[in-house]
Amino acid sequence: MIRVVFICTGNICRSPTAEAVLRHKVREAGLEDQISVASGGMGNWHVGNGADERAVTAWRSRGYEHDHTARHVRRDWRDDYDLFVAADTGHLMEIRSLLPGVEAKLLRDWDPKGMGDLPDPYYDGREAFEDVLDIVERSCDRLLEDLRGRLDQAAS
């Protein structure tokens, strides 16, 4: 089992979007018993809240379903997840500081159109949420390929 967790600031926009997309892709691939997907936020101010409605509207418009409740990253997640996927460089640095030694990467490390930070759409309009979803979809396609390779390698 490979356990993936997406991390953003408050766990209401970017990370739940990535969680919804990758969960869907994992389900479509028939790999739910081999890959688990979760998300969390570096800040705790949205804990217990649902995802931002603009994010939910964007992902539902493309057929993704996800019932989300925001969570805060904790030190004991070190043993709960195998791969920490950060929305931006700041989150990546925080994860590496809070949980030294875990495997942590940027989501856009898998983006075929370029690396860097996943933009935060929170202060922008609906179009920004669609743009983020575009990046998340293509990054998760490549991430799923990577995860399949890891599963194949572990099986041999």
55-109: pLDDT as tens digits:
999 999 999 988 888 899 999 999 999 999 999 999 999 999 999 999 999 999 9
Residues 6+ apart with CB under 8 A from 4: 22, 35, 36, 37, 38, 81, 82, 83, 85, 143, 147
SS3 content of the chain, % helix, strand, coil (to 5): 45, 15, 40
Nearest to 70 by CA among 41, 92, 36: 41
Query: Do the domain assignments include residue 47?
Result: yes
What pLDDT band is residue 156 in, cutting at 50, 70 and 90? confident
Query: Is the pLDDT at 48 greater than 90, yes or no?
Result: no
Residues 79/80/83/86 CA torsion (nearest 10 deg): -110
Name the nearest CA neighbour of 3 among 29, 28, 24, 32.
Answer: 32
DSSP code string of 28-91 = HTT-TTTEEEEEEESS-TTTT----HHHHHHHHHTT--------B--GGGGGT-SEEEESSHHH
Residue 156 lies in a domain: no
For residue 124, the enclosing domain spans 2-151
Q: Is 67 tagged catalytic?
A: no
Calpha distance 79→21 (Å, rounded): 24
pLDDT > 90? residue 43:
no
pLDDT at 15 (0 to 100):
96
Q: Is 14 a known active-site residue? A: yes
- Single out the catalytic residue among 14, 23, 54, 71: 14
Model's pTM, two decimal places? Answer: 0.95
Measured from the Cβ of residue 134, the count of other Cβ atoms closer than 10 Å reads 14
CATH of the domain at 10: 3.40.50.2300
Looking at the predicted structure, is the pLDDT value of residue 46 above 80? Answer: no
Q: In total, how many domains does the chain have?
A: 1
**Annotated catalytic, 88?**
no
**Is 88 within a domain?**
yes
**The pLDDT of residue 146 is above 90:** yes
Mean pLDDT of the 51-58 span: 92
The active-site residue out of 117, 120, 134, 146 is: 120
